[in-house]
């Protein structure tokens, strides 16, 4: 027995709420059960079997929210086999347990520490250079990639079950993440230059002074953060020192 495309779409919509009730005991357990419920309703006509299936998906689950789409698709794939009597009820659980850790690591490494910061840095530079249209463009582009991958992973999980691992390996996300991180750092550097140019306002003299302030704060800040100084004190220190320095020298930032 297979479930209809409309029901799968409903499950995909619900997987966007995966972390709505994130908790330290079951983590995304309630979110996963909420997401898969329409599929279980379609697969199990017997209320007792439906409740049994739902109970097994209310157990501990934690993964990267985007990558979890692959596991959700795969869990439906296995539940179809369970409902048809081709697999024991423990298989969807072992499928989830096996994949959640590795996919969480891949998702955290690619989406959270590479793709999103890259688009964040791109949007930050764009905001300074081209204004709000650049921010909108960056956010839209990020979501084309994000939703595209989320959808592909959900479909692949559903259609291929365990073989979804091959597709994820083929995507080579860790290698791409390294490149995105390096490109993101370059964008941060370019943003520092854009800040300095904007601060100077193209005025000779003010420009050099602004460059000096921004460069000193960026350079000293980078070294301080690299040595483990916490972010908040560093940020406060930069703002307060900059202000005090200007107040003491009588410089108002406009030479």
Partner 1 sequence: MGYLLLGIVAGLAAVERKGFLQAMLSRPIALAPLTGLALGDLTGGLAVAAPLELLWLGAVNLGAALPVHEALGTVAVVGGAVLAGQALGTGVTPALCVLALLAGAPLALLGRRADRFVEVANERLALFAEEKLRHHHPHAAVRLNLAGLAMPFAIAALLAPAGALVASTLAVRLLQAAPGLDGPLRVGWWAFCGLACAAGARALRARRAGVIFSVSAAAALLVGMVLRVTP
Complex with partner 1: residue 163 or 178, whichever CB lies closer: 178
Write down the least CB distance from residue 140 to partner 1, Å. Answer: 10
Q: Identify the residue whose tokens are 């073989």.
A: 163
Cα torsion angle, 208, 209, 210, 211, sign? positive
Query: Toward partner 1, which CB reaches closer, 92 or 161?
Result: 92
Look up residue 213 and give its two tokens.
């302030």
Residue nearer to partner 1 on the CB measure, 19 or 98: 19
- The CB-of-124 to partner 1 minimum distance in angstroms stands at 4
Among positions 1, 9, 20, 86, the unique one binding partner 1 when judged by CB under 8 A:
20
Shortest distance, position 136 Cβ to partner 1, whole Å: 8
Instruction: Report helix, strand and coil shares of the chain as percent, to nearest 5.
Output: 80, 0, 20
Tell me how far, at minimum, the Cβ of 80 lies from partner 1, in Å: 19
Q: Enumerate residues 101-160 that contact partner 1 by CB under 8 A.
A: 104, 108, 112-114, 116-121, 123-125, 127-129, 131-132, 135, 138-139, 142-143, 146-147
Tokens 């601060």 sit on residue: 199
Check binding of 81 to partner 1 (CB under 8 A).
Answer: no
- Yes or no: say if 84 and 1 are a contact pair by the CB < 8 Å rule: yes
Please check whether residue 187 is in contact with residue 237, taking contact to mean a CB–CB distance below 8 angstroms: no
Residues contacting residue 222 through CB under 8 Å, at least 6 positions apart: none
């Amino acid at each position: 027995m297979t479930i209809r495309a409309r029901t799968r779409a409903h499950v995909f919509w619900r997987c966007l709420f995966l972390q709505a009730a994130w908790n330290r005991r079951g983590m995304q357990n309630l979110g996963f059960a909420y997401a898969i419920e329409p599929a279980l309703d379609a697969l199990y006509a017997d209320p007792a079997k439906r409740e049994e299936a739902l109970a097994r998906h209310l157990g501990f689950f934690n993964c990267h929210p985007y990558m979890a789409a692959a596991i959700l698709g795969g869990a439906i794939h296995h539940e179809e086999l369970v409902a048809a009597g081709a697999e024991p009820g423990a298989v969807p659980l072992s499928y989830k347990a096996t994949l959640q850790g590795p996919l969480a690591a891949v998702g955290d490494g690619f989406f959270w520490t590479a793709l999103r910061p890259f688009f964040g840095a791109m949007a930050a530079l764009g905001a300074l250079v081209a204004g709000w249209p650049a921010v909108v463009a960056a956010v839209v582009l990020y979501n084309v990639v994000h939703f595209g991958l989320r959808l592909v992973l959900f479909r692949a999980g559903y259609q291929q079950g365990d073989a979804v691992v091959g597709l994820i390996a083929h995507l080579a996300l860790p290698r791409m993440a390294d490149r995105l991180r390096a490109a993101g750092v370059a964008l941060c550097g370019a943003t520092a230059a854009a800040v300095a140019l904007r601060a100077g306002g193209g005025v000779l003299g003010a420009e050099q002074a602004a460059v000096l302030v921004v460069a000193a704060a960026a350079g000293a800040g980078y070294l301080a953060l690299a040595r483990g100084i916490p972010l908040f004190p560093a940020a406060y220190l930069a703002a307060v020192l900059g202000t005090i320095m200007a107040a003491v020298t009588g410089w108002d930032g406009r030479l």
